[in-house]
Amino acid sequence: MENIRERISRLKKERNAVILAHYYAAPEVQDVADFLGDSLGLSRLAATTDASAIIFGGVHFMAETAAIISPEKRVFAPAPDAGCSLADSVDAAALRKWKEAHPEGIIVSYVNTTAAVKAETDYCCTSANAVKVIQALPENREILFGPDRNLGTHIMEITGRKMELWSGVCTVHDEISSGMILDAAARYPDADILIHPEAACSGDSEVLQLGSVYFYSTAGMLSHVSGSDKKKFVIATEIDTIHQLRKENPEKIFIPLAPSLLCNEMKKVTLDKILASLEHGEGEVLIDSRTRERALLPIRRMLEIG
Ligand code: 13P
Ligand code: SF4
């Protein structure tokens, strides 16, 4: 009798499907994935895989982004109700109003947004390429950046570029305060502290000046650890990132900044739901073609910048 992992594996082959999962997915979901990545890496994988179907181990906006990029593939969100506080913080009507108040502004939206918001956007970015995207824009133009005000503040601090910011936050990373980072730096002087730029402390110059602190997207943290001679790392992001960090670096020590840094929305994707998508086509992502075409443009521009 096949167990659930064996059934998933057989159905994947029968359906010519791949499972893409974010590093914040539950460890058992990460373990059945064909590819793991951060938001940027997963967008690239969705664009390049030659599978006919993608099962997305992540929240809904991620599966939707894959469906925008790959219209010729069937894309499934096993947990269609898996939301994101950032994506929920702005809708297309509110974004249009913001644009009307700043008619000359360039709209840069974090990839954590709905297809309808991307359709109103000039450039998308992820945490991995946000600085690069902003630096690529003409200096004499106003920039409206949303919805993550912490990432926006971080980019302004790094680039020196002023931007108008939307006031959304990731409810998980917004818990990460400057005080928590300063405490960790004092407690673990021999560790590197890796912080996601969605954190509340991301624009704090006192934190940015600490010698052992680095800001990275999730995949950036994995690259930093594999290229570092250090033995100990404080991880200031969603705690299931540590699952992959430990697998790739069994000899190193990972200290979660706080056990509460858990995205419950990501954990809505379970093996049972992945199986239901493969077996019965549950959670297929369907986007109307006009929204999809408009939403593709800012994603393409982002992927071209890097
Ligand atoms: P990255 O995947 O860009 O690291 O973003 C993290 C995140 O919160 C995704 O929802
Ligand atoms: Fe959204 Fe934050 Fe969860 Fe990522 S970790 S999906 S940004 S709520």
Question: Is 261 within a domain?
Answer: no
Q: Is 113 in the pocket of ligand 1 (CB under 6 A)?
A: no
Query: Are residues 94 and 78 both part of a single domain?
Result: no
Task: For residue 256, list its beta bridge partners.
Answer: 235
Contact 203, 153 (CB under 8 A): yes
Q: Is 128 in the pocket of ligand 1 (CB under 6 A)?
A: yes
Q: For the chain, how many structural domains are there in total?
A: 3
Query: Are residues 10 and 66 both part of a single domain?
Result: yes
Question: Is 179 within a domain?
Answer: yes
Question: Is 71 within a domain?
Answer: yes
Question: Could you tell me the CATH number of the domain that includes residue 194?
Answer: 3.40.50.10800
Predicted local distance difference test score (pLDDT) of residue 244: 98
Separation between Cα atoms, residue 52 and residue 83, nearest integer Å: 25
Separation between Cα atoms, residue 213 and residue 282, nearest integer Å: 42
Query: Are residues 299 and 152 both part of a single domain?
Result: yes
Model pTM score: 0.95
Question: Is 157 within a domain?
Answer: yes
Query: Are residues 29 and 97 both part of a single domain?
Result: no
Contact 56, 76 (CB under 8 A): yes
Query: Are residues 132 and 275 both part of a single domain?
Result: no
Query: Are residues 114 and 160 both part of a single domain?
Result: yes
Query: Are residues 74 and 117 both part of a single domain?
Result: no
Query: Residue 190 belongs to what domain range?
Result: 173-256
Which ligand is nearest the CA of 23, by number? 1
Q: Each residue of 225-276: pLDDT tens digit? A: 999 999 999 999 999 999 999 999 999 999 999 999 999 999 999 999 999 9
Choose the residue to mutate in 30, 36, 38 for probing ligand 1, maximizing ligand atoms within 8 Å of C-beta: 38
Question: Is 114 within a domain?
Answer: yes
Which residues are near ligand 2 (CB < 6 Å)? 24, 59, 84-86, 112, 170-173, 198, 238, 263, 265-266
Query: Are residues 103 and 29 both part of a single domain?
Result: no
Q: Each residue of 183-206: pLDDT tens digit? A: 999 999 999 999 999 999 998 989
How many angstroms separate the alpha carbon of residue 226 from the centre of ligand 2?
24
Query: Are residues 96 and 241 both part of a single domain?
Result: no
The parts of the chain modelled with pLDDT lower than 70 are none
Predicted local distance difference test score (pLDDT) of residue 44: 87
Query: Are residues 78 and 97 both part of a single domain?
Result: no
Separation between Cα atoms, residue 44 and residue 82, nearest integer Å: 21
**Tokens at 87, concatenated:** 């994506």
Question: Is 9 within a domain?
Answer: yes
How many angstroms separate the alpha carbon of residue 39 from the centre of ligand 1?
5
Question: Is 113 within a domain?
Answer: yes
Query: Are residues 110 and 64 both part of a single domain?
Result: no
